[in-house]
C-alpha cells in the first residue's frame, strides 16, 4: 500500500497485513472446518497478493483462539511462503519459560530466512491465567523479567537460571535478524504507551476494543510517538476486521457472531467498555466507528486512508472471522491486495 503521510516522525509507508486469531467458528460449521488448513490458505493469499505479513494470535483453553503454539504454525507457514513476513501477536510471556520462547522463535526466524516479527504481551483472559496457575496481579513483573531474558537470549548472552538447580547457559540457536527480530508489544491501556515507547518497541492495538473513534486513536498514537527515543524506527500496528467484496452483509453477520462469542472471554477492559455502552458489541456500530471495513475493494481502500493520516504504519486485517467461508476470505484478501497495488 503506497499511501504516505507526514506525522511527528515524517513520512511513513502504511502496510497491509493479515492477522488471524484462529477462532473456532459457531456450530454447525465448526465441526466441518480445518482452521489450520484455512490459515495456510490465508497465508497463500497474503503472499500472492503482496501483503506485508501474516500474524497469528496465541490463545489457550477457550474457543476464542485455537493456536496455543504459534511457532509451530508459523514454521509450517514459512515452508509455503517466500516473501511474507511471519508474526506472533502475541507470545504471552507470563505463561512461558522465556528461554524456551527464545529458542522456539529463533528457530522460526532461521527456518523462514529472517522473516519473523515477534509480538509479546502480558495476557488479558482470566481463564488463561487460571490454566497456567499465574496470578494476574504479577503479570507485569513477570513480563518485564521474561522480556529481558528473551532479548538477552536472542543476543547470545549468558543467561542466569535462578533456583537451587539453576546455572548459567547460553542458547545455541540465535535468530538470523540481529540483534533480534523486530519486537512489538500489544497494549490495551493508554497508560502503557509511554512504557512501550521508552523501550523503543513497536506497538499493536485493537481499536474496537480500546478506543471510541479514530480521533482518540490518533491522539494515542501521538502520545506513543512523543515518548519514542530519538531516531527510533518503531511502528504502530492496528487490527481491523476487513471484508472486500460484493457481499458485505455476510461480513456484518459474521462479525456479530464473532463478537457474541468473544465477549465472555475478552479482556475486562473491553467488557467494561461494553457495559458502559452496549453498542460497542454491535457489529454495525463498530463499522460506523471505522474499526470494521466492509465493502467493495475500492471502498475499503478509501477507508484505509484515514488510518495512515492518523499515524498508523501497519493495518492488521482480520479477514477470517465468525465463520466466513475460507474461499470468501482468500478472495477478499486478493481483491483488496489487487486494488492497493494497482
Sign of CA dihedral 306, 308, 311, 317: positive
What pLDDT score was predicted for residue 183?
98
Question: What average pLDDT does range 297-321 have in this prediction?
Answer: 97
Is 291:240 a contact under the CB 8 Å cutoff? yes
What pLDDT score was predicted for residue 30?
61
Q: How far apart are CA 192 and CA 47, in angstroms?
A: 33
Q: How far apart are CA 23 and CA 12, in angstroms?
A: 32
Q: Please, how many CA atoms are within 13 Å of residue 288, restricted to the half-sphere of its CB?
A: 7
What pLDDT score was predicted for residue 25?
76
- Please say if the pLDDT value at position 53 is more than 70: yes
H helix intervals, 112-236: 126-132, 139-154, 193-198, 207-210, 214-226
- Please say if the pLDDT value at position 284 is more than 80: yes
- Please say if the pLDDT value at position 9 is more than 60: no
Look over the chain and give the mean of its residue pLDDT values, rounded to a whole number. Answer: 92
pLDDT digits (tens, 9 = 90+) for 203-222: 999 999 889 999 999 999 99
Question: What average pLDDT does range 246-272 have in this prediction?
Answer: 81
What pLDDT score was predicted for residue 12?
53
What is the domain count for the chain?
Answer: 1
What pLDDT score was predicted for residue 266?
60
SS (H, E, C) 66-88: CCCCHHHHHHHHHCCCCCCEEEE
Helix (H) or strand (E) holding 309: helix 297-309
- Please say if the pLDDT value at position 3 is more than 80: no
Q: How far apart are CA 164 and CA 177, in angstroms?
A: 34
- Please say if the pLDDT value at position 10 is more than 80: no
Helices 139-154 and 98-111, interaxial angle, to 10°? Answer: 50
What's the CATH number where 162 sits?
3.20.20.30
Taking residue 172's Cβ as centre, other Cβ atoms within 10 Å add up to 8
Q: Smallest Cα–Cα separation from 84: which of 121, 42, 36, 120?
A: 42
What pLDDT score was predicted for residue 270?
67
What pLDDT score was predicted for residue 220?
97
pLDDT digits (tens, 9 = 90+) for 147-170: 999 999 999 999 999 888 889 999
Query: In terms of residue numbers, what domain contains 119?
Result: 4-341
Amino acid at each position: 500500500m503506497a499511501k504516505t503521510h507526514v506525522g511527528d516522525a515524517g513520512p511513513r509507508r502504511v502496510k497491509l497485513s493479515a492477522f488471524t486469531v484462529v477462532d473456532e467458528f459457531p456450530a454447525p460449521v465448526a465441526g466441518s472446518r480445518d482452521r489450520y488448513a484455512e490459515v495456510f490458505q490465508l497465508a497463500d493469499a497474503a503472499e500472492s497478493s503482496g501483503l506485508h505479513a501474516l500474524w497469528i494470535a496465541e490463545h489457550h483453553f477457550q474457543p476464542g483462539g485455537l493456536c496455543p503454539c504459534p511457532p509451530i504454525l508459523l514454521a509450517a507457514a514459512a515452508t509455503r511462503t517466500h516473501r511474507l513476513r511471519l508474526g506472533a501477536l502475541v507470545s504471552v510471556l507470563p505463561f512461558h519459560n522465556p528461554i524456551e520462547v527464545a529458542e522456539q522463535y529463533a528457530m522460526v526466524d532461521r527456518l523462514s530466512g529472517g522473516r519473523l516479527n515477534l509480538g509479546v504481551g502480558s495476557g488479558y483472559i482470566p481463564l488463561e491465567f487460571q490454566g497456567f496457575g499465574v496470578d494476574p496481579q504479577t503479570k507485569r513483573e513477570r513480563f518485564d523479567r521474561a522480556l529481558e531474558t528473551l532479548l538477552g537470549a536472542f543476543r547470545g548472552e549468558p543467561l542466569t537460571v535462578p533456583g537451587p538447580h539453576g546455572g548459567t547457559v547460553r542458547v545455541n540457536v540465535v535468530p538470523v535478524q540481529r540483534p533480534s527480530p523486530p519486537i512489538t508489544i500489544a497494549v490495551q491501556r493508554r497508560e502503557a504507551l509511554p512504557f512501550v515507547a521508552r523501550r523503543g518497541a513497536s506497538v499493536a492495538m485493537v481499536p474496537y476494543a480500546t478506543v471510541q473513534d479514530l480521533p482518540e486513536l490518533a491522539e494515542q498514537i501521538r502520545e506513543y510517538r512523543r515518548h519514542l527515543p530519538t531516531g527510533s524506527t518503531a511502528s504502530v500496528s492496528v487490527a481491523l476486521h476487513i471484508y472486500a467484496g460484493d457481499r458485505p452483509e455476510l461480513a456484518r453477520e459474521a462479525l456479530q457472531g464473532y463478537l457474541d462469542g468473544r465477549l465472555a472471554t475478552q479482556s475486562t477492559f473491553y467488557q467494561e467498555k461494553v457495559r458502559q455502552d452496549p453498542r460497542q458489541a454491535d457489529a454495525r456500530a463498530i463499522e460506523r466507528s471505522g474499526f470494521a471495513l466492509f465493502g467493495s475493494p475500492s471502498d475499503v481502500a478509501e477507508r484505509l486512508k484515514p488510518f495512515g493520516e492518523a499515524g498508523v504504519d501497519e493495518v492488521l486485517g482480520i479477514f477470517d472471522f465468525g465463520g466466513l467461508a475460507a474461499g470468501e476470505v482468500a478472495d477478499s484478501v486478493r481483491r483488496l491486495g489487487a486494488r492497493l497495488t494497482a
